[in-house]
Amino acid sequence: MGAAGTETVVYTDGSCLGNPGPGGWAWAVPDGPFASGADPRSTNQRMEITAVVRALGAIEGPVHVRSDSTYVVNCFRDRWWEGWRRRGWRNSAGKPVANRDLWEPLLELALDPEREVRFSWVKGHSGDEMNDRVDLLAVEAASAQQGVSGDHCVP
């Protein structure tokens, strides 16, 4: 996984039972490793970001993140982070950027000049096998407030 030059595809998802409420996050590589975890009081957006932070922290080399979160994907596709940094971590309305405590470590991982990280959006609940798998893992983690991990993710 993640050998030099070989891009690893990883699916990520976050879930929250209530918003805020008990949260869960998950990531999985097709036919590869996976992990999930929980937070007793979170939001869906925080769990979406956490899933990507955990995935990028666990996977070496080039990564293609597939997420059903427009919040996460658009941050990179539309380069929201550039404006946030330029404005001193204020959004376009002049308010503090929500979830900065998670965005900062994500940006450090995703913008690492030593590896390529790219993002693409996948429609949730649309029959994409791996998106459905990480959704299930995230919901299970939120419900049980306990994560799982393994070496081989089977959809």
Q: Tell me which of 125, 127, 129, 151 is the catalytic residue.
A: 125
14 belongs to the catalytic site: yes
31 belongs to the catalytic site: no
DSSP helix/strand/coil, 13: strand
Q: Tell me which of 13, 24, 39, 147 is the catalytic residue.
A: 13
Q: Name the DSSP class of 96.
A: B
- Report the sign of the C-alpha dihedral through residues 2, 73, 13, 98, in that order: positive
Q: Tell me which of 23, 24, 37, 68 is the catalytic residue.
A: 68
Amino acid letter at 55?
Answer: A
88 belongs to the catalytic site: no
Alpha-carbon distance 48 to 21, whole Å? 14
140 belongs to the catalytic site: no
Q: Tell me which of 24, 39, 48, 147 is the catalytic residue.
A: 48
135 belongs to the catalytic site: yes
Q: Tell me which of 23, 24, 39, 135 is the catalytic residue.
A: 135
Q: Tell me which of 14, 24, 37, 147 is the catalytic residue.
A: 14
Name the nearest CA neighbour of 89 among 76, 75, 103, 78.
103
Helix and strand counts by DSSP (H, E) for the chain? 5, 6
Residues serving a catalytic function are: 13-14, 48, 68, 125, 135
